[in-house]
Structure 1
Amino acid sequence: MQKQQNIIKSYINAYNNFGIDGMLATLDESIVFENITDGKLTMTLKGINEFKIQAEYGKALFSSRRQTITDFKDASQHTEIEINYHAVLATDLPNGMKKGHELNLKGRSIFKFTENKIVYIRDES
């Protein structure tokens, strides 16, 4: 399980540094990403190409962003992390949030692996 935790740490570190190539390096070609907000599925991405497009879009939205892992929970089929999330918007959003607005959230992410790559991520906030 330590190997999987290290892969997750690499992914989070790349995310925090806007390192799309570093994020992609940890992912399997068939990655499935799901985002859950307030108990509702808000996004599903299938495959590394869809993930890359979304990562590039997301990079432009924030002037800074940081996920901080507060806990790891290893299970037989997956690894779950608890996170604190802080970000600052780089642009105005259609939902009314303005450039410079700070987001502070708590959430969790579930990671599944195939060999030495992440094959599934579910972000919940």
Structure 2
Amino acid sequence: MKKIFTLIFLMTISSTVFGQTLTEKEIYGKWKVEKIIKKPTNPQFVPLIDGFENSTFFFNENGNFKLTTTSKSELFGMITEMTNGTKWKVEKNKKYVKIGNQEDGYSIMGISIRENNGKKIFHLDESEITLEMKKTE
């Protein structure tokens, strides 16, 4: 009986967490960082963390992507410059958004997206920063 309960529980979790795919329509719009949930502990990342803490992600319907921040960090300024003029696309059958251009294989930034208690969570693969986001438009 215990094994059956465990199996049903695992099937429920996997269908809830992994059974859904992400669509472009869910991503369109302006997303503001509400708070940082997870961040690297290395002091080198402080300017990066500050930049993301005060950032907004724009996913336009035409595929254009823009990242802005109120941070004055020179390091984060380089990141916003790198993403300037880029596009975004949803990786099919995954909850993953790739930022870049066709020429670079959309390799500038990767964002895993999930929902937790009704909140959208963006995990930035390259930096290991996890953000709680709020759609503002």
* TM-score, normalized by the shorter chain, greater than 0.5: no
Structure index of larger Rg: 2
TM-score of the aligned structures, taking structure 1 as reference length = 0.38
TM-score of the aligned structures, taking structure 2 as reference length = 0.36
